[in-house]
Chain A
């Protein structure tokens, strides 16, 4: 089974700053990685699919990169609505796996 590990667990930043979230897979998953945003009381929302493709309606300040085992989600300039929990998810192999999440909080 592929294990997906996110870091850091918590990231404290201020609006306007750049956020860099990391996701590492225990073996190569090519580019089969997605990123989701979850706000309290809501279901997750897809942001990035297959490592670097923005989902419909996702602002351009969100970008994804990486391949193989190491991936990054970057938010270029944080808006107040971006503070949430972010999950990565691999779909390369069964079973599908999520990372444990990174909480992006206001500093």
Chain B
């Protein structure tokens, strides 16, 4: 089955760190650009970060310098290392695949809830 299985969400104190993981299955992971998109409860979608097939990375201004996206093709996995977390980072984080033909988001994980609170 073609899917993205996420893990790693949870409650963390302000200033803390958390690592999200996303395991791909059913497709050739190494040939797809991958992204993270977040959504605070009741709010809209916010793009967070991307990594392309060459390993080049891109970040939203709000997370640059604090978050690091990475991938391990051998483990068919995507990661998001989040440091210096703030209350404003509280959201559901989606692991997302980019379609090779449309170049838009065509496969989403179920999301991992990250809550930053003391």
Give A contacts to B, CB under 8 Å.
Answer: 1, 34, 36, 38, 43-44, 46, 49-50, 53, 55, 87, 89, 91, 94-101
Contact = CB atoms under 8 A, between A and B. Distances in A.
A94 B46 contact: no
Q: Helix, strand, loop or mixed for chain A's interface?
A: loop
Interface string B40-80: 00001111001000000011110000000000000000000
B64 to A, nearest CB: 9
Contacts of A98: 37, 44-47
Of the four ranges (under 10, 10 to 19, 20 to 34, 35 or more), the interface on chain B belongs to 20 to 34
Interface of B: 35, 37, 44-47, 50, 58-61, 94, 99, 102-106, 108-111
15 contacts: A34-B104, A43-B108, A43-B109, A46-B99, A46-B102, A46-B105, A50-B102, A55-B104, A55-B106, A89-B105, A91-B103, A95-B60, A96-B35, A96-B58, A100-B44
Given A98-B46, A98-B47, A46 B106 contact: yes
